[in-house]
């Protein structure tokens, strides 16, 4: 009973994690790694970030090969989301909005501290026009227009 009341209060006050949803083709929970939920309902980077915050989660930040393999295993359940280039990318929680050219996680952590600074060839390459990050199905990072409407993962 106490836990249930606490959860209800948490939902109002914004504290604590949302109750995990049941694992399925869009959700995976890996002990010691994290909880990942795929959103096939594509949004802009900022909207996606907000959606994750509402779930008491954050936009995916890849920290290891294991983590990429985990989200890829979910992503593989959705091979045909779009008929164009967007099919191959998801938003990721990195940005250079604070300082052009200096990508960090959205929490300000330098890329070389993430454990996964695997940029695509020549990336980031789009300068002031592209200040958000996207991840390819092949596991590479790209700078990206924040207004791109892409699928995304939330991570807890
Ligand atoms: Ca992570
Ligand atoms: Ca930029």
Is-contact 57 35, C-beta < 8 A? yes
- Output the CA 2–ligand 1 centroid distance in Å: 31
| pLDDT tens sequence across 1-46 | 444 443 444 334 444 556 567 778 899 999 999 999 999 999 999 9
Residue 24's pLDDT is what?
83
| Separation of alpha carbons 8 and 6, rounded Å | 5
Q: Could you tell me the distance, in angstroms and rounded to a whole number, from the CA of residue 126 to the centre of ligand 2? A: 6
Q: The whole model's pTM is what?
A: 0.85
CA distance 30 to 155: 11
pLDDT confidence of residue 28 = 92
The full set of domains in the chain, from first to last, is 38-155 (3.10.100.10)
How does 132-153 read in b/e, with b if 16+ C-beta sit within 10 Å?
A: bbbbeeeeebbbbebebebbbb
How remote is the CA of residue 152 from the centroid of ligand 2, in Å? 20
Tell me what the mean pLDDT of segment 128-142 comes to. Answer: 98
Q: Nearest-5° angle of CA 90, CA 75, CA 95? A: 20
């Amino acid at each position: 009973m106490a836990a249930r009341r606490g959860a209800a209060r948490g939902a109002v006050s914004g504290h604590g994690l949302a109750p995990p949803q049941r694992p399925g083709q869009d959700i995976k929970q890996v002990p010691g790694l994290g909880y990942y939920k795929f959103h096939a309902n594509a949004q802009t980077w900022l909207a996606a970030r907000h959606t994750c915050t509402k779930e008491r989660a954050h936009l995916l930040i890849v920290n290891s090969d294991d983590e990429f393999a985990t989200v890829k295993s979910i992503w593989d359940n959705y091979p045909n989301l779009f008929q164009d280039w967007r099919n191959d990318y998801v938003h990721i929680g990195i940005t250079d909005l604070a300082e052009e050219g200096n990508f960090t996680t959205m929490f300000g952590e330098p890329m070389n501290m993430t454990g996964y600074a695997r940029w695509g060839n020549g990336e980031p390459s789009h300068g002031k026009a592209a200040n958000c990050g996207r991840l390819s199905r092949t596991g590479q990072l790209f700078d990206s227009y924040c207004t791109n409407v892409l699928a995304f993962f939330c991570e807890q």
